[in-house]
Structure 1
Amino acid sequence: MSLDPVARFRRFSRAVTSEVGALDTSFLGRGRPLGSARVLNAIGHGRTDIAEVRDYLGLDSGLMSRLLRGLEDEGLIETRPDPADGRRRIAALTQAGQREFEAYEDISNTRAKALLSRHPHPEALLAAMDLVASALGRDRIVFEEVDPRSEPARYCLGEYYAELARRFENGFEVSLSRDPDANDMIRPRGSFLVAFSDGLPIGCVGLKGGIDYAEAKRLWVAPSARGLGLAKRLMAATEDAARELGHTIIRLDTNRALPEAIAMYRKSGWTEIDRYNDDPYPDFFFEKRL
């Protein structure tokens, strides 16, 4: 006997709906429904452009207007024309709105910690949550070009190095590899892209500038986001960045312990070439002419 997948999905949906209080008229006991609280949360986290907030929350214009009007009537937000573009409107929290935003943050954080503390395997629970969040938010994943020394980049690179250490036959030591200098992955020489899912980093890739060719380096996708085509999108964005920077050739190297990466390169127009560096880790070398 196997349980019906649809029934399992719907049980999950009901559990989440109940846990987050989606049907409560007073979300987290603060006197307003979930929709109003989410708009307040989005503005509090820096999304001030009203059209951006509406798209982020997936709301239609009518509902968005009603929610904004309700928050204005409470004295929690102020809206005004964007000084840089009068056709657009922006929103900001008032002092009262900031206090309410912080109250929601405190309650939400406390509830999250309590739920995780009750579970015998919190890391497994978080891994499952990451998997679901990546699947549901796949259309809202965004790429940002960042400094490779920034916190999101360092997180991704740390996860990447740890995975190589687990998968390579003899482990992986960054100091032994041809680790690119950060300045080579910053414009105008190169670039470093991080994929974000609702603010959390879930993938990265670097473009190291060179004289005769550029190199794609440090492609990584979080396990929870694999199978969604994110690696292909990151590589395509890297090729676009290379073109913008005037590069006509990109190269990369990889190890036989990463067969999924090798297969992707072969299917997406990369040509296998002879070894072009003395890095001790790679077994395969590829090139693409742009």
Structure 2
Amino acid sequence: MERAELERLSDEVALRALEPLGDEQRRRLVAAMSEVERLLQASLVNFALEDPDTDDARWCFEQYFGELDQRFEGGFDPSSSLSADAHELKAPAGALIVARLHGKPIGCVALKFHKKSPAELKRMWVSPSARGMGVGRRLMVEAEKRARQAKVRVIRLETNRTLGEAIALYRQSGYVEVDAFSAEPYAHHWFEKRLV
């Protein structure tokens, strides 16, 4: 049987299943099915270390910078921000983790390691299409796992007040707000977490 015919038969079965339901029940069923699909997609996301010089890594950074430029009051200029250049994100100086769904990058987070001071969490970004799937939380878990492997005891990060979702994620992940520890011109909040 051809694919188009299978899809037509599938649509008929779906319509028959929906027919006895009222409008509110249909709405709830469709919403539940959408949630199931989203959760199944979330289970397919994988996380891996990535060389920051790859096309996928550069694409993630471009998306991140573009979003910050749109959201920050007055825009965002990466050259004015504290550095997190490619050479700083390669072992042993750092690490970059990229999240992928169906082989396509949908998020990233970077770590900068310092010998005697806390590691820095940088470039935390999740594609708008993947938000609400737990990708940000899982990126944080991966970053903390890599930090522990590098014998890091404290992770610090700074963020802008317009990034409310990120601030909520950091707090939910156990990061506590601390006094400013950097001269990041775009930061309004500074956080740290002690790793056990």
TM bucket, shorter chain: 0.7 to 0.9
Take 1:184 and 1:135, find their aligned partners in 2: how far apart are those partners?
Answer: 34
Corresponding residue for residue 66 of structure 2? 162
Q: Give structure 1 stretches of 5+ with no counterpart.
A: 14-131
Structure ID, larger Rg: 1
Q: Shift of residue 181 of structure 1? A: 2.4
Structure 1 residues 166 and 2: alpha-carbon distance in aligned structure 2, compared to 1, 3 A threshold: farther
What is the DSSP-based 3-state SS (H/G/I as helix, E as strand, rest coil) of the residue aligned with 1:227? Answer: coil
**Number of equivalences:** 172
Please give the per-residue CA displacement for 1:199-230, whole angstroms capped at 9, x wherever unaligned.
00000000011131110001000111111111
Take 1:165 and 1:136, find their aligned partners in 2: how far apart are those partners?
Answer: 32
**Structure with the larger helix share:** 1
Corresponding residue for residue 80 of structure 2? 176
Take 1:165 and 1:171, find their aligned partners in 2: how far apart are those partners?
Answer: 4
Take 1:228 and 1:256, find their aligned partners in 2: how far apart are those partners?
Answer: 23
Take 1:2 and 1:172, find their aligned partners in 2: how far apart are those partners?
Answer: 46
Corresponding residue for residue 96 of structure 1? none
The one-letter code sitting in structure 2 at the alignment partner of 1:186 is: K
Structure 1 residues 287 and 7: alpha-carbon distance in aligned structure 2, compared to 1, 3 A threshold: closer
Take 2:178 and 2:152, find their aligned partners in 1: how far apart are those partners?
Answer: 18
Take 1:139 and 1:173, find their aligned partners in 2: how far apart are those partners?
Answer: 35
Take 1:195 and 1:232, find their aligned partners in 2: how far apart are those partners?
Answer: 11
Corresponding residue for residue 198 of structure 1? 102
Listed as ranges, the matches of 1:270-285 within 5 Å are: 270-285=175-190
Q: 1:5 aligns with which of 27, 33, 37?
A: 27
Structure 1 residues 137 and 246: alpha-carbon distance in aligned structure 2, compared to 1, 3 A threshold: same
After TM superposition, the score normalised by the length of structure 1 is: 0.55
Q: 2:113 aligns with which of 191, 209, 212?
A: 209
Q: 1:251 aligns with which of 148, 156, 164?
A: 156
Indicate if the aligned counterparts of 1:193 and 1:206 stay in contact, CA closer than 8 A: yes
Flag the structure with more relative contact order, 1 or 2, with Cα contacts below 8 A and sequence separation at least 6.
2
The one-letter code sitting in structure 2 at the alignment partner of 1:275 is: A
Corresponding residue for residue 186 of structure 1? 90
Corresponding residue for residue 37 of structure 1? none
The one-letter code sitting in structure 2 at the alignment partner of 1:216 is: L
Please give the per-residue CA displacement for 1:81-134, whole angstroms capped at 9, x wherever unaligned.
xxxxxxxxxxxxxxxxxxxxxxxxxxxxxxxxxxxxxxxxxxxxxxxxxxx986
What is the DSSP-based 3-state SS (H/G/I as helix, E as strand, rest coil) of the residue aligned with 1:137? Answer: helix
Indicate if the aligned counterparts of 1:147 and 1:192 stay in contact, CA closer than 8 A: yes
Structure 1 residues 5 and 247: alpha-carbon distance in aligned structure 2, compared to 1, 3 A threshold: same
Q: Shift of residue 189 of structure 1? A: 2.1
Report the identity percentage. Answer: 44
Listed as ranges, the matches of 1:20-99 within 5 Å are: none
Take 1:138 and 1:266, find their aligned partners in 2: how far apart are those partners?
Answer: 22
Take 1:215 and 1:289, find their aligned partners in 2: how far apart are those partners?
Answer: 12
Indicate if the aligned counterparts of 1:189 and 1:245 stay in contact, CA closer than 8 A: no
Take 1:256 and 1:215, find their aligned partners in 2: how far apart are those partners?
Answer: 18
The one-letter code sitting in structure 1 at the alignment partner of 2:107 is: G
Q: Give structure 2 stretches of 5+ with no counterpart.
A: 1-21
Q: 1:230 aligns with which of 107, 132, 135?
A: 135
Listed as ranges, the matches of 1:85-124 within 5 Å are: none
Structure 1 residues 186 and 134: alpha-carbon distance in aligned structure 2, compared to 1, 3 A threshold: farther
